[in-house]
Amino acid sequence: MKLGFCAQNYSEKPLQEVCKMVADKGYEAIEIATYDGNGQCDAGEMLQSGKAKEMRKMVESYGLFISALSNHADSLLIGGPWGEDTDGIYKGTKEEKIKFGTESLILTAQLANELEVPVVIGFTGVENFGRYFPFPHAKGWKACEDHFAEHFGPILDKFKEYGAKFAVEPHPNNLIYDVHTAKRAIEAVDNHPCLGINLDPANLTYLGLYVETFIDELADRIFHVHAKDAEIVAHNVGKGGILMQGEWGRLDRAFRFRIPGWGDVNWRKVITELAMTGYDYVLSYEHEDVTMSRADGVDKVVDYLKPLLIHAPYEGRNDKLFTI
Amino acid sequence: MKLGFCAQNYSEKPLQEVCKMVADKGYEAIEIATYDGNGQCDAGEMLQSGKAKEMRKMVESYGLFISALSNHADSLLIGGPWGEDTDGIYKGTKEEKIKFGTESLILTAQLANELEVPVVIGFTGVENFGRYFPFPHAKGWKACEDHFAEHFGPILDKFKEYGAKFAVEPHPNNLIYDVHTAKRAIEAVDNHPCLGINLDPANLTYLGLYVETFIDELADRIFHVHAKDAEIVAHNVGKGGILMQGEWGRLDRAFRFRIPGWGDVNWRKVITELAMTGYDYVLSYEHEDVTMSRADGVDKVVDYLKPLLIHAPYEGRNDKLFTI
Amino acid sequence: MKLGFCAQNYSEKPLQEVCKMVADKGYEAIEIATYDGNGQCDAGEMLQSGKAKEMRKMVESYGLFISALSNHADSLLIGGPWGEDTDGIYKGTKEEKIKFGTESLILTAQLANELEVPVVIGFTGVENFGRYFPFPHAKGWKACEDHFAEHFGPILDKFKEYGAKFAVEPHPNNLIYDVHTAKRAIEAVDNHPCLGINLDPANLTYLGLYVETFIDELADRIFHVHAKDAEIVAHNVGKGGILMQGEWGRLDRAFRFRIPGWGDVNWRKVITELAMTGYDYVLSYEHEDVTMSRADGVDKVVDYLKPLLIHAPYEGRNDKLFTI
Amino acid sequence: MKLGFCAQNYSEKPLQEVCKMVADKGYEAIEIATYDGNGQCDAGEMLQSGKAKEMRKMVESYGLFISALSNHADSLLIGGPWGEDTDGIYKGTKEEKIKFGTESLILTAQLANELEVPVVIGFTGVENFGRYFPFPHAKGWKACEDHFAEHFGPILDKFKEYGAKFAVEPHPNNLIYDVHTAKRAIEAVDNHPCLGINLDPANLTYLGLYVETFIDELADRIFHVHAKDAEIVAHNVGKGGILMQGEWGRLDRAFRFRIPGWGDVNWRKVITELAMTGYDYVLSYEHEDVTMSRADGVDKVVDYLKPLLIHAPYEGRNDKLFTI
Amino acid sequence: MKLGFCAQNYSEKPLQEVCKMVADKGYEAIEIATYDGNGQCDAGEMLQSGKAKEMRKMVESYGLFISALSNHADSLLIGGPWGEDTDGIYKGTKEEKIKFGTESLILTAQLANELEVPVVIGFTGVENFGRYFPFPHAKGWKACEDHFAEHFGPILDKFKEYGAKFAVEPHPNNLIYDVHTAKRAIEAVDNHPCLGINLDPANLTYLGLYVETFIDELADRIFHVHAKDAEIVAHNVGKGGILMQGEWGRLDRAFRFRIPGWGDVNWRKVITELAMTGYDYVLSYEHEDVTMSRADGVDKVVDYLKPLLIHAPYEGRNDKLFTI
Amino acid sequence: MKLGFCAQNYSEKPLQEVCKMVADKGYEAIEIATYDGNGQCDAGEMLQSGKAKEMRKMVESYGLFISALSNHADSLLIGGPWGEDTDGIYKGTKEEKIKFGTESLILTAQLANELEVPVVIGFTGVENFGRYFPFPHAKGWKACEDHFAEHFGPILDKFKEYGAKFAVEPHPNNLIYDVHTAKRAIEAVDNHPCLGINLDPANLTYLGLYVETFIDELADRIFHVHAKDAEIVAHNVGKGGILMQGEWGRLDRAFRFRIPGWGDVNWRKVITELAMTGYDYVLSYEHEDVTMSRADGVDKVVDYLKPLLIHAPYEGRNDKLFTI
C-alpha cells in the first residue's frame, strides 16, 4: 500500500506546487480532480493540447504517481437531484444536467486512458436521498436504481473502451451509501467489470455499519481508498444526532469529517481487512477537517498513517507450532 | 399520564369496533386519523353532517377520550416533496399539492374545534431530505426553512382561531427531525404558541441523540406523545447501517419500528423526563412493528407500558434526612 | 409459541407429579428425558409394555403436550470422548460406547414415533473439544466431522423412518457449538432433512456470537428451543474468564447458567427472530441455575417469559402511512 | 427475602396509617426511624412508657414485622462534621454533639432490645469527607478512622449487651462508603460482631464499583438492605458529573436517587448475590426519588421488586446432566 | 499550541537544571511554582532583589518561555479547610491562614507582572468538600460560594492591577470542580475578567463529565492547560470506586494520575476542542504518575503529545466540493 | 524492560541471520526454541559438542542476549493429549510420549544452565481441554491437575538443580489458561520456586478476563513475557464466536493472533502493571499474525512497542503537592 494525496485539498495552488510539497513530506501518489472548473486540471484542454503526458511526467519527476482522477461534482448530475440543488455545479434542465455530467465523466475516462491511470472516482447522484425511507414513496428508491442502470450502463461501456474503471464513493445524496446499495448497484449493471468503489471510511462510519464488513463484502470491487476520517462528536450528539445539518464549522456539530486518526475509523482494522482481501494500492488523504489547518493535516497524516500501511501478505511460518 | 391508542392501527375496522376492543384491554384514550381517505373519519363529512359530536359521544361511551386528531399524510404535501414522491397521497402540481395539504390540515383543526380535541398531529414535509447534508446544495436546508415559515405561519394562525395546537412529529422527510431543527422551526414562526411537537421516540433514537435531552429542550412544546419504539437491529447493522432502505419486513433490515419495550427506547427515562417537564397527557400506541401481529401488540403494550406511567409529581418529604 | 417445561428439572419426582405442578402454574408443554437411567421414562419398557400411549394420555389430561423427548447423555457417546470422561454414562470400550449411544438414540426415535412427538433432542459428542484450537492437531476437528458424518448418517435415516427429527443442542464437548459448526454438520450429512438444532441460548452467549444471527442463519433447522439463560458474571470475569472450570456453585464463578431473564440473553430479540423466521413451537424451560431453588424458577419463568411469547406474525396495515 | 418499607417515607403520617397502607399493598415489613424529632417514634418515651410492645403489636396486627430501627441523623454526629454542617441536627460544641449522637444511638439499641428487633441502622459521620483525597491532608482519613475506633468501640459493646447489631449505611459524608472503607472500619474495631452494613445500592453505584463485589466481600456483615436505586442521568452527566451539587429537583442534575428499577442498579444481580451469600432478610424501600410521587413509588416498587425476591437456595438436581 | 513543563516535577533540582533538561528534550515552555517553600522560586526574594528579570533571561536562554506561575498550596488556604487539614501548608487560625494565602497569591501576581507572565495558577479551597452532597448541610455549598466571592473579589482586583489573570485548577477540595461550579464561581465575582481556569483534564475525567463540553462551555475562560492524565483503573474499580482513598502507590488503587496518553483522557478530542474555541497557548506537563519514573515521563510525553498539537485553524478550501 | 524477538518467527533461517536482522532493527534480546526438530538449535548436540558457549557469544556479538529458551512442542506431551492429537510432535504410546517430553524439557533446562539463561518456556499439556466444562466428566479437570503434580514435581526439581525456571505459557490445550488455573497449578506443586508463567496476553484476552489482574495476581511468578496480541474480530464474531475453529487465514475468522498494537490488548496497561509488580525483563515478540508479512511485523512492533517500555519505577516527588 502507498500513501497518496488529493491535490484538490489545495485547489488554489498549481498542481506542481502541490506535488512538490507532498513529495517532500513523504507522500507517494497524487489524486487529481477533473470536474469542470476545478482549477488544477482542465481535462478537455489536456486532451486537445496533448499536455496530459507532460503532466504525468511532472508528477513522476517528484517520485509520485497518479493514483486516480476524480470527478465528484459533475458525475453527481447524472443521477440528480436536478433542480436548484445542483445549480451550483451546472445550471440547466434535468436533461441538460444529465448530458453535461455524462460527457464530463466520459471525458475523464478518456484522460485516464491518456495518462494510463486505472481509476476514475465519482458519484452517481440520486434524485431524492430521502427516498431511503419508505414513506411517502415506497417505490422511490427502486426508481432511482432503474435510472442508474439505464444511464450508467452505457457510461461503463465507454470506461471499458478506455481501459478505465469507475470507482463510486459511497456518500449521502448518492445511490451507493452502504453495503446493500453498493451490491445492488453492481447487480443493476449486470456486474459490469468497470464498476467499483472508492472506499471513503468517513462516509460510512456514522451509519453504524462495520467498514471492515464493507471491505470484506465488496473486496475486489474496491478500486481506490480515501484516507478520510469522521467523528461522531460525542459531547454534541445528545442534541444534534448523526444527520445534523448546518455549517461544518459550528462548534456544536455532532458529525464532522476529520483527518485519519482523529475520528472514529479504526485504521488498523481497515488496513488489515484491505490487506486480507488483496488490496495493495493507494490510501489518498483528503482534507475536510474543519478543526485544523491543511498544513497541520499534511504533517499529522503522514506521521500517523504511513507506518500503518501493510506491505506484504503473510507468507507463513514453517515450524510445528503454527502450521495452518 | 394516560395510555392511548392510534385508531389507524386498524384502519380496516370501523372506529367503534376499535374503541370497544381497546377500552376492554385497558387503554384510556384514542387518536383518530383525519387525512383524506383514511377510512375511519371523513373530516369534511363530520363537520357538514354534524356527526362530530356523535363520534365523540361514541368514544366516551367506552370510557375513552380523543387525545388527538392526526393528519400525517396530507400535511406533508405542504413542505414537499411535490413530484412523484407524493403522488400516492395526492396527484397534482406543486401548487395543487400545497393547496390540498393546507386545506386538509385546516379542516382537521376545524374538526378538532368541534370535538374539543386540543391537538392535531402532522408532518411539515421537506422538499429534499438529502439537503441535511451540505453538499451539493449548501443553502438548501435554509430554503426549506423559509418555505416552512411562509406557509405554516398562516396555517398556525388558523389553528389559533380554532383553539387547536399543531404537533409536528419529528421524522425523516420532514423539516423537523432532531433538537436543532425543532427549535429552529419554532423560531422560524416567531415562537407561534400553536406550534409544538408530537414526540415519537422511535423516530429519534436511530440518530444517536438523547430523547431525554429532546424532552428537556422542547419541554412545554411537547403537545402529544406516541408510544412507538425502534430497534437498531444489532446483528444486521454491520451490513445495513441505520439509514438502510428496503422493505420493512426483510429479515436483514438494520432498523425497524417496534412496539414499546421491544426497541432501544428507554421508556422509564422518557417517562421520567416527561414527568419532570410537566407533561401529563397521553402516550398513544402506534403499531408499525413488522415482527408480530397487532393483536400481540395490543396485549403486550398495555401490560408493559401502563404500569410505568407516572401519575403525580414528587410532593417532598418532611424529615431531616431529605429536605431539598 | 408455547411455554414448556423440562421434566428432568425434577428427575426425582414421578412424571405425573411434575405434569400436575407445571400445568397448574401455566406451562403448556413438557419435555421428557429418555436416556438410560433418567428415572422418569424408560424408553425400552414404554415400547415393550405399550405404556407409551398411556403416558401421552396422562400428559394430555393436564392440558399439556409433549414437545420433545431428550436423550443428551447417551447420544454424546456416539462422538466421544470414550475414555474415562464418559464412564459415568456407560462404561465400556470405545466401540461399546458408540453402540450403546446409537441404540439408545434410535430407541428414543422409536418412542417418539409411538408418542407422535416430532422432535428428539441430544448431543453429538466430540472426541476432544480442545481440537477447536488448531494446535497441536490442526486436522483434528476435521477428523471429528468425518466421524460424525459416518455415524450419524445412518442414525438420521432411522429417524426418517420413524418420522422423527433429531435436534442437536449446541454445547461444549459437542461437534456443534456455533453457527459455523452447525452449518458444517448439516452439510456433512448432505443436508439430511432430519438433522436440526435444539436452540439453547445459554450455550451460545458466552461465545460472543449473536444468538439472533444463529437463528437467522439456521432458521427452519431450529426444531426446538430451550428456555435457559446464562450469565457472564461481570464482577468475577476479571479473574475467571468465560471458560472457567470448577463447581457450578462456587461464589467466584465467572460463568453460570441462569433462568430466563436473569442472564445475558436478550429474550425479546431471541423471540423476535424466532418469530421472523417462522418458528411457532415451544420454549422449554430447563433449570440449571445454582443461585435459586427450582420452585423460585418455576414461578419466575412463567411470569417473565410467557407474556413475551409472540402468537402471530404481522398481518400488515392497510393505510397510506405504512404500506410496505 | 421479604419486601419492607421505610416508615419515614411518610414521616408526616402516624405510623399506624403507614402500616395499614403498605400492608394492603403487599409489603411485608416496616423500618422505623428513631432519631430525635422524627415524628413517628420517640424512643425515650417508648421505653419509659412501656409503649414499645404496643407498637410492635400494632405493626404485627397488619401482618408486618419490624425489620430495623434507623437512626441516621443523630448517629452522624459521632464522627462529624461538628460545625455548622450539623447544626440542623443538633446545635452544640463538638463534644456536645458527640455525646448527643452517642446517647441517641444507644437509646435506639435499647429500644431494639425491647422490641426484639435485631438491627439498628445509622451513619458514622466523618470530620471532612474531602479527606478521601490525599491533598492537602494526606493523613486525614487515617485520623478519622482512629476517631471512629475510639468512639464506636464502646458503643458496639453496648449493642452487644442489648443483643442488637449496628448496620452502617455506606454514604457520602460517612467513614464507610466503599468496599475498602467498610472492611477497614470492621478491622478498626477488631471485627466486633455487632458492626455490619445496611446495604443501600443507590449510595454505591455512582462510584463505579460493583455492588455485587461489595456483597461478596462483606457477605455475612450485611445485616439489612435498602431498596433504593440511583441514576447517573446520562444526558446531564456531560456537564454535571457524578459529584454534582445543587438541589435534588433541578432538571439538569447528573445524579439523582430513584425507586428500584428506575436507576442503574441491576436488581437481579444484587438479589442473586445476596442469595448466594446467604442473605435471607428484608429489602426495605426508601423513597428519595424526586421525579414522582411517593404514591407512584408505593405501587411501582411492589410490582417490580416483589416478584424478583429469591425465596430458597438451589437444592440441586439429581440427574446425570448436572451433577456438580 | 506549545508543549510546556512544570518545573516542580523536579522540585529538588535547581530551576536552571530543569530548564536545560527539558529544552534539550523538546519542551517549549516552563511553569514555575511560587508557593511558600517550593524550593525553586522565592517570589518575595525575587521581587526584592530584582532577580526576577534574571530568571526570565535564564529561561529564555534555553529557548523556553514561562507559561505561568503556579501557587496551588497557599491559595487553597483562602477557602479552606482551615483546621489541621492545612497545617502542613501553614499553621495558624482560620484568619491567619486566609491572610497568609491571600498575601502569597497577590505576591505571585506581582511577580507575574514583573516577569510579564500572563497567568497565575492556583486553587480556591473549600471549607468542607463533602458539602457537594446536600446532606447533612443543604445550604453548605452556597455558604462556600459566598465566602469565595467575598475573599476573591478583592484579590482579582489586585490581579487586574498587576495585569495578571488567575487560573483556578478544578480539583477535589476546591470550590471549582466541574462545569457548573466553574460557571457559578465566575458569576459569583460578577464575571471578573481576571478569573478563569487552568484546565487539568486529569481532575475532571473521573467525574464522568465530558472534558470537551467543559472546554466548549468555559472557552475563553480557559487561561492555561495542564497536560496530565488520569486512569480509572478498570481492574480495580470493582472494589475501590472512583473516590478511593489511600496511598497513590498502592497496587489496588482504582484511580491514579498518569502521564498524557496513559489514562482515560482523549487528547485528540481535548486538543481539537481547545483549537475550536481559540486556545493557542501551552499544555504544561505535570508528572503525578506513580507507575513510572519522571525520566520515563519526560521522554514519553514529548513523543506522544507534541505531534498532536494543532498549530493553526482551518483556513477553508475553495473548491465546489466543500464550500461551507 | 527490553524488547526481545522469538527466533522461531523465522525458523527457516539460521539463527545468526535472525540475530543480525533484529539487532539492526533495534531489538535487544532473543528467545531460542529447543524442541526437537526446531531447525535452529539442537539442544543435545549443543551440549555434547560444547557449541552452546559459541552460540551465546554469537548472540552477544550483535549486542543481544538470550532471554529464554522455549520448548512448547515437546513439553506438551507430558500432560497430553496422547493419542493422534500429538502424533505430529512425537508418535508413540502415552508412556513413550510422556517420557520423550520429559527428557526434552530437562535437556532444555540443562542447556539453559550451560548458557546461563534463567528461563525455559513451555506448555504443560492437558489430556482433554474440554474437561474445563463439568459435563460429562465433573472430576476430569482434577484428574489432570493430579497428573500434572505427579509428573512436573520431579521435573521442577531438576530445574532447580540446573538453576533454571520453568515458565508455562497459559494457552488452550494446557492446564494453565487463566488466573485460577495458574494459581492452582502452583499450589499443586507446593509453590515450587521454579514454576512460573510466560505471560502471553494474546492467549488470555479472548477469555474476557483482565490481563492486568492476571499480572497483579501472579506478580513475581511471571518469569517472561511474550509480545503477542490477539483480536476478537468484531465484524465476524456475530457468526463465529471466540472459540471458532478453522484455518487461521480464513477471512471470516472471529479470533486471530496479531502483532502488538493491532489487537485487543491494552499494552500501556499491561506494561504499567508489569512495572508496578516489579517486572523488569523482556517482552519477546512472536509473530503469529496471518494478516501481514513477518517483515511488516518486525518494523511495526519495534516502532510501536519500544517507546512504551517503562525503564524505572517512580522515585517520588518531594514537594508539598504530592507527598504520598
What is the model's pLDDT at position D322? 73
Measured between beta carbons, the chain B residues lying within 8 angstroms of A89 are 136
For residue A313, cis peptide bond before it (omega within 30 degrees of 0): no
Residue F197 has phi, psi (to 5 degrees) of: -125, 140
Which helix (DSSP H) or strand (DSSP E) does residue C181 occupy? helix C179-188
Q: Which of A290, A301, A302, A303 should one mutate to test binding to chain E, selecting the residue with the greatest count of E CBs within 10 A?
A: A290
Q: Which residues of chain C have pLDDT under 70?
A: 323-324
A55/C271 Cα distance (integer angstroms) = 62
Contact C287, C7 (CB under 8 A): no
Where residue A318 falls among pLDDT bands split at 50, 70, 90?
confident
Q: In this predicted model, what pLDDT tens digit does every residue of B224-268 receive, in sequence order? A: 999 999 999 999 999 999 999 999 999 999 999 999 999 999 999
Interchain contact, C235 vs E235, CB within 8 Å: no
pLDDT of residue C324: 46
Cell of B231: 430497534
Quote the pLDDT of residue D318. 75
Nearest-angstrom CA–CA distance, C305 and E41: 71
Of B269, B307, B312, the CB nearest to D293: B312
D247·E136 Cβ contact <8 A: no
Q: Which three cell numbers stand for residue C239?
A: 479473574
Nearest to B251 among C216, C308, C321 (CB): C216
Q: Does C211 touch chain F (CB under 8 A)?
A: no
Flag whether residue B209 sits within 8 Å of chain D, measured between CB atoms.
no
Does the pLDDT value for residue E18 go beyond 50? yes
Whole-number Å distance between alpha carbons of F301 and F292: 12
Please name the amino acid found at residue B107.
Answer: L
Q: What are phi and psi of C7, to 5 degrees?
A: -60, -30
Across the interface, whether the CB atoms of F216 and E37 are under 8 A apart is answered no
Nearest CA in chain E to B322: E135
Query: Is the confidence at residue A324, as pLDDT, over 50?
Result: no
Averaged pLDDT, B55-82: 97
CB of A240 within 8 A of CB of A281? no
Q: Which of residues 88-117 of A touch B (CB under 8 A)?
A: 88-89
Model confidence at B57, pLDDT cuts 50, 70, 90, reads: very high
Residue A80 neighbours by CB under 8 Å, 6+ apart: A86, A94, A97, A125, A126, A127, A128, A147
pLDDT of residue E314: 96
Whether residue D24 has pLDDT greater than 90:
yes
Whether B268 has its CB under 8 Å from any CB of chain D: the answer is yes
Mean of all residue pLDDT scores within chain A: 96
Nearest CA in chain B to C276: B291
Burial class (CB in 10 A: 0-12, 13-18, 19+), A150: exposed
Per-residue pLDDT, averaged over A131-150, amounts to 97
A137, A138, A180: residue with CB nearest B239 = A180
For residue B90, the SS3 value is coil
Tens-place pLDDT, residues F136-182: 999 999 999 999 999 999 999 999 999 999 999 999 999 999 999 99
Nearest Cα neighbor of F100 from F114, F112, F86 is F86
Cβ-Cβ contacts under 8 Å, F134 against chain D = 323-324
pLDDT at B319: 82
Chain F, 281 to 320: residues with Cβ < 8 Å from chain D are: 320
D235 touches chain A (CB under 8 A): yes
pLDDT at position C76: 98
| The predicted structure's pLDDT at residue E323 | 62
| Best of A131, A213, A323 to mutate (most C CBs within 10 Å, chain C) | A323
Q: Answer whether residue D323 shows pLDDT above 80.
A: no
Residue F324: pLDDT band with limits 50, 70, 90: very low
Beta-carbon contacts below 8 Å between A and E: 76
Identify the pLDDT of residue E4. 98
| pLDDT at residue E324 in the model | 45
pLDDT band of residue B56 (cuts 50, 70, 90) is very high
**Nearest to residue A16, comparing CAs of A7, A25, A28?**
A7
Smallest CA–CA separation between A234 and chain D, in Å? Answer: 10
Q: What is the pLDDT of residues A206-240, one digit of tens each?
A: 999 999 999 999 999 999 999 999 999 999 999 99
Flag whether residue C134 sits within 8 Å of chain A, measured between CB atoms. yes
pLDDT digits over B279-309, tens only?
A: 999 999 999 999 999 999 999 999 999 999 9
Q: Is the CB of D172 inside 8 Å of chain E's CB atoms?
A: yes
Query: How deeply is F47 buried, as exposed, middle or buried, from its count of CB atoms within 10 A (0-12, 13-18, 19+)?
Result: middle
Write the pLDDT tens digit of every residue in E42-72. Answer: 999 999 998 999 999 999 999 999 999 999 9
Q: Does A38 touch chain E (CB under 8 A)?
A: yes
Q: Between chain E and chain F, how many beta carbons pairs sit less than 8 Å apart?
A: 76
Distance CA F305, CA F301 (A): 6
Residue D324, pLDDT score: 46
Contact with chain F for residue C40, Cβ under 8 A: no
| Cell representation of residue E99 | 491572610
Q: What is the pLDDT of residues D226-275, one digit of tens each?
A: 999 999 999 999 999 999 999 999 999 999 999 999 999 999 999 999 99
Rounded to an integer, what distance in angstroms lies between the CA atom of residue A151 and that of residue B123?
Answer: 34
Burial of C315 (0-12, 13-18, 19+ CB in 10 A): exposed
Q: Evaluate if residue D114 carries a pLDDT over 90.
A: yes
Write out chain F residues lying below 8 Å of B235, CB-based. 238
pLDDT at F199 exceeding the cut of 90: yes
For residue F262, what pLDDT is reported? 98
| A173:B135 CB<8 A | yes
F320: pLDDT strictly greater than 80: no
Residues of chain F with Cβ-Cβ distance to B238 below 8 Å are: 235, 238
Which three three-digit cell numbers place residue B245?
A: 432502505
Output DSSP code: residue B219: G
A73 touches chain E (CB under 8 A): yes
The whole-number pLDDT of residue C321 equals 77
Please list every residue in chain B whose beta carbon sits closer than 8 Å to the beta carbon of residue F235.
238
